[in-house]
Amino acid sequence: MDESSIHGGCLCGTITFEVDPPFQKMAHCHCSRCRKSTGTGHATNLTIDPSQFRWLSGEEDITRYDLPTAQSFGKWFCRHCGCPIPRLTRNGRFMVIPGGSLDTAPPITPTDHIFWASRASWGCTSGGLPTHAEYPESW
């Protein structure tokens, strides 16, 4: 464990993990799938290379749901408390870390709002961050 590692976990504490920065990006996603999977106006997710991530406990208590109608959307959560937890993308290229699952603030702040065109009418303002109708071309 590196001193710069960031820890996180689920609500009940069964699942814990650590991440070695740097993070690739941090964005607010406003797509309908993220809204439904979080129950909020948007999901705030960070991405990292899978080699920067380690499960510390509870890996056997992870439940995975892959949306059958989507090419890559999925959600991993604790089978005890239902809390969203980090997930490996289906193509295995990166880990998606739900921002709220971290125990301390990451050394990065959100850089973009994605899927802004499908945001909830009652959702947050852009706060001056760039907005993108879908994924930015650079992603």
| pLDDT tens-digit map of 75-102 | 999 999 999 999 998 889 999 999 999 9
pLDDT band at 1 (very low <50, low <70, confident <90, very high): very low
Q: pTM of the prediction?
A: 0.90
Does residue 50 register a pLDDT over 50? yes
What percentage of the chain reaches a pLDDT higher than 70? 98
Which domains does the chain carry?
6-118 (2.170.150.70)
Residues 6+ apart with CB under 8 A from 118: 30, 31, 32
Give, in order, the Cα–Cα distances in Å from 7 to each of 13, 30, 76, 94.
Answer: 12, 25, 17, 18
104, pLDDT greater than 80: yes
For residues 54 and 86, what is the distance between their CA atoms, to the nearest angstrom?
Answer: 10
pLDDT confidence bin for 106, thresholds 50/70/90: very high
